[in-house]
Amino acid sequence: MSGKQHNSIVVRVAVPTPLRRAFDYSVATTQPITPGTRVRVPFGRGHHVGVVLASGVTPSIAPARIKPITEILDDQPLFDAATMALLHWTARYYHHPVGEVAQTMLPVSLRRAKALGATGNTAYALSNEGLAVDAATLSRAPRQARIYTKLLEAGATGLTRADLEARDPGCGGAIRALIQKGLVQKKSHEIAVLPPLPTAALPALNDAQQTAVDTIDAKHGQFGAFVLDGVTGSGKTEVYLALAERAINRGLQVLLLVPEIGLTPQIIARVRQRLTATLVLLHSGLADGARASAWLAAAKGSGQVVLGTRSAIFTPLPRPGLIIVDEEHDLSYKQQDGLRYSARDLALVRAKVAAVPVVLGSATPSLETLWNIRQGRFNALKLTARAGGASLPTVELIDIRTRLMDGHLSPALLDAMHTTLKAGQQVLLFVNRRGFAPALLCHECGEVCECSRCDAKLVVHRASQRLRCHHCGLERLLPKHCPHCDSAHLRPVGLGTERLEDELINHFPGTNLARIDRDTTRRRGQLEASLEEARRGCTKILIGTQMLAKGHHFPGVTLVAILDADSGLFSADFRASERLAQLIVQVAGRAGRTKRPGRVLIQTHQPHHPLLVALRAGTYADFAAAALTEREAAMLPPLNALGLIRAEAPKADLAMDFLTAAKAVAQAAASTVSILGPVPAPMERRQGRFRAQLLLQSNSRPVLQRLLTTCIDNIAALREARKVRWSLDVDPQDMS
């Protein structure tokens, strides 16, 4: 006698709650429910949407206490077996509550309790008649008029039912009325699936590209990890596309991940022109309904290519054939809150589960990836020359010590700019800081304006007359007098893009220049418009931050200068030099991408700094080899594994007390893992909260994992945990 009733079964459900376990419910059926199916369950005082992990289980609590589920939401499971395997792996490796992992893996609309047909993935758009009428004809039906206006703004892609409902709850009747009047039409269910565009002429692959394609393709149908280590402009994307074509010809799907700011109209157009395949886009810019439709389309197999940013790694694919991670070193692949996963690392897990090859591409592979190559876990394929006959740019350091500068521009740089512009070519100037200046200093008392909530200086934004904290978003009017001594002698110190723009307008009056950073590209479509102007050569001088560093192809740029390289040379973060080297190489990679050779100038007060010398004289590979040796000597990642427990609280003591208690729990496990701290975080105060951290370090990943498995539930159960916000970051990337 198990106590089980004959007409019901028990299912184990991943419910989104910080509690670190799954929950049992009964279902009045004798049919098992396939894992991956969503169910609505009572939880606490409310209801949650959970994902079934197992069906027909022996209950873990007294049968009398088992509650029935409220509703089965899907006829077919949303997660297939491979996605379930990924769910379990992710929860285990990141030691994150399984219900929260399942929720993170689902698009927002599907986290809600709606059966699939009603997720709102039906889209509506104005019909031709609708476009022709005057909105005034609807003045007597205000609700219809509102929807009409929304759809007019949305244009041809239209809006999904969910989008419309979100703005105007209960608008179904009004939509029906508009359809009856012939002003609005229902669009196909899968607006998320883009058809291919007319084919563009494709270049014949060069030998190195062909070898890469053949080597990787030889592994089709099996797991294999490949690194496509190709200098900027070496034709990595062409390799991805050729491989994708082969997978598609076999009837398989391709998952292509790109960094957050790498999902540009160019890559989308390139995929659509080169591949006779349907494309599904998945990124954070999509409205919830559109995103859910895209996700479902991919999961149903209708998208042959799935192109997306970090979270696209969780999209179920019924017929996976290939996974590609472009710019694998990019920090945006690591989620920095909640479930702190690395999409790059999960790509390997997925590829293994699905038995398909995975390709990690970069001109500047992460040290982790280079280490995996050395260990024989990944196969490296190199593209050492630029495709199409372009040569790599030369790199020169401009020693600006004691040099008389014109604002922030050295005479040598100004000279080079004049020459380049006279020859009708373009210049790109890089500063890794938006705003006018990174600090406002009082010349009389020496005080610097700081954020009241963070340990950070406020950044001067002159155009908007504001001081802003780039960490918490705090804003203040730009003061006219020092808040400490009331002096009027306030001085912006340091260089931001806005200031550089000012200086350049003075030096090159009448020259067409554009600043591209987060401040100038807030409006939708603005970034694309600016990039297009630059590509066509209209813009002569480009000023930009990180946004301009990656992936873009500006045929007319032959001179690139990095103005503030020094700021990255002395960071406390052991990864800072790797990041700076990647940034310099990527920025430099924008120069001379066509027939005309490119030139890179780096202004520095540290012309003998080993990092800069290495990058001038050699390649990224030389730098990386030296950096790996250093990491080895210091026993830092990738030579060992890290876990970081962070805590924050309104009072510093609370955070430290929790971490001290957590440390005691870890020490009791008597593992060989070293436990360092707790110490205040490098940025101790942020948004008014005190932050501290405890570092766990081991030369064996399994040993670290075992310790975490043993301790994490006990740490979560600590009394001190209730007074803080805490998290565990496995393989932390940003230690600030």
Place of tokens 């040993």: 703
How far, in Å, are 7, 88, 135, 622 from residue 182 at the CA level? 51, 49, 14, 65
Amino acid identity, position 665: V
Which residue, 122 or 426, has its beta carbon nearer to ligand ADP?
A: 426
* 238 makes contact with ligand ADP (CB under 6 A): yes
Encoded tokens for 123: 């889209």
104, 121, 237, 530: which one contacts ligand ADP (CB under 6 A)?
A: 237
Interaction partner, residue 665 (ligand ADP, Zn ion, none; CB < 5-8 Å by kind): none
The answer to whether the CB of 116 falls within 8 A of the CB of 296 is yes
Which residue, 462 or 553, has its beta carbon nearer to ligand ADP?
A: 553
Amino acid identity, position 4: K
Encoded tokens for 151: 């759809």
Instruction: Name the one range near Zn ion by CB under 5 A: 103-111, 449-457, 521-529, 714-722.
Output: 449-457
Residue 111 host element (H or E): none
* 736 makes contact with Zn ion (CB under 5 A): no
What's the CA gap between 284 and 279, in Å, rounded? 17
Instruction: Name the one range near Zn ion by CB under 5 A: 186-194, 388-396, 439-447, 691-699.
Output: 439-447
Alpha helices in 401-446 (DSSP H): 411-422
Which residue, 453 or 553, has its beta carbon nearer to ligand ADP?
A: 553
Q: How far is the CB of 417 from Zn ion (least distance, A)?
A: 36
| Omega prior to 638 cis, within 30 of 0 | yes
Which residue, 270 or 453, has its beta carbon nearer to Zn ion?
A: 453
The answer to whether the CB of 84 falls within 8 A of the CB of 35 is yes
* 587 makes contact with Zn ion (CB under 5 A): no
Interaction partner, residue 232 (Zn ion, ligand ADP, none; CB < 5-8 Å by kind): ligand ADP
Site for Zn ion in 215-244 (CB under 5 A): none
Q: How far is the CB of 273 from ligand ADP (least distance, A)?
A: 11
Alpha helices in 37-141 (DSSP H): 81-94, 98-105, 128-132
Q: How far is the CB of 466 from ligand ADP (least distance, A)?
A: 37
* 163 makes contact with ligand ADP (CB under 6 A): no
Residue-by-residue DSSP string for 183-212:
SEEEPPTTTTEEPPPSPPP-PPP-HHHHHH
* 230 makes contact with ligand ADP (CB under 6 A): yes
Instruction: Name the one range near ligand ADP by CB under 6 A: 17-25, 97-105, 200-208, 640-648.
Output: 200-208
* 229 makes contact with ligand ADP (CB under 6 A): no
Instruction: Return the closest-CA partner of residue 532 out of 522, 518, 542.
Output: 542
- Hey, CA dihedral for 550, 553, 554, 556, is it positive or negative? positive
Q: How far is the CB of 441 from Zn ion (least distance, A)?
A: 9
* 469 makes contact with Zn ion (CB under 5 A): yes
Site for ligand ADP in 441-460 (CB under 6 A): none
Encoded tokens for 611: 């990092």
Instruction: Name the one range near Zn ion by CB under 5 A: 240-248, 405-413, 440-448, 574-582.
Output: 440-448
Interaction partner, residue 238 (ligand ADP, Zn ion, none; CB < 5-8 Å by kind): ligand ADP
The answer to whether the CB of 715 falls within 8 A of the CB of 721 is yes
Name the DSSP class of 392.
P
How far, in Å, are 467, 501, 567 from residue 436 at the CA level? 10, 9, 16
Residue 360 host element (H or E): strand 357-362
What's the CA gap between 724 and 451, in Å, rounded? 22
Q: How far is the CB of 734 from Zn ion (least distance, A)?
A: 17
> 619 by DSSP, 3-state: which?
coil
Binding mask 541-570 for ligand ADP (x = CB under 6 A): ------------x-----------------
Q: Counting runs of H as helices and runs of E as strands, what totals does the chain give?
A: 20, 32
* 379 makes contact with ligand ADP (CB under 6 A): no
48, 111, 236, 646: which one contacts ligand ADP (CB under 6 A)?
A: 236
Encoded tokens for 484: 């400490």
Instruction: Return the closest-CA partner of residue 297 out of 194, 218, 428.
Output: 194
Can you name the residues that pair with 476 across neighbouring β-strands?
Answer: 467
What is the number of the residue whose Cβ is closest to ligand ADP? 235
Rg (C-alpha) for the chain, rounded Å, is 28
Can you name the residues that pair with 334 across neighbouring β-strands?
Answer: 342
* 472 makes contact with Zn ion (CB under 5 A): yes
Task: Please give, one letter per residue, the 3-state secondary structure of 525-560.
Answer: CHHHHHHHHHHHCCCCEEEECHHHCCCCCCCCEEEE
Encoded tokens for 540: 């002569």
* 232 makes contact with ligand ADP (CB under 6 A): yes
Instruction: Name the one range near Zn ion by CB under 5 A: 221-229, 469-477, 515-523, 717-725.
Output: 469-477
Q: How far is the CB of 383 from ligand ADP (least distance, A)?
A: 7
* 388 makes contact with ligand ADP (CB under 6 A): yes
* 103 makes contact with ligand ADP (CB under 6 A): no
Residue 698 host element (H or E): strand 689-698
Site for Zn ion in 487-526 (CB under 5 A): 487
* 133 makes contact with Zn ion (CB under 5 A): no
* 206 makes contact with ligand ADP (CB under 6 A): yes
* 577 makes contact with ligand ADP (CB under 6 A): no
Order of strands, sheet of 725-730, starting from the edge strand that comes earlier in the sequence: 674-686, 689-698, 641-649, 725-730
Dihedrals phi, psi of 676, to nearest 5 degrees? -115, 130
Which residue, 71 or 486, has its beta carbon nearer to Zn ion?
A: 486
144, 234, 426, 530: which one contacts ligand ADP (CB under 6 A)?
A: 234
Which residue, 388 or 610, has its beta carbon nearer to ligand ADP?
A: 388
Distance of CA 359 to the CA centre of its chain: 18
* 471 makes contact with Zn ion (CB under 5 A): yes
The answer to whether the CB of 406 falls within 8 A of the CB of 532 is no
Which residue, 118 or 683, has its beta carbon nearer to Zn ion?
A: 683
* 387 makes contact with ligand ADP (CB under 6 A): yes
Instruction: Name the one range near ligand ADP by CB under 6 A: 197-205, 449-457, 634-642, 673-681.
Output: 197-205
Interaction partner, residue 205 (ligand ADP, Zn ion, none; CB < 5-8 Å by kind): ligand ADP
Which residue, 233 or 556, has its beta carbon nearer to ligand ADP?
A: 233
* 55 makes contact with ligand ADP (CB under 6 A): no
Instruction: Name the one range near Zn ion by CB under 5 A: 45-53, 80-88, 145-153, 481-489.
Output: 481-489
Give residues in contact with ligand ADP (CB under 6 A): 203-206, 209, 230, 232-238, 387-388, 553
Give residues in contact with Zn ion (CB under 5 A): 442, 444-445, 447, 451, 453-454, 469, 471-472, 474, 482, 484-485, 487
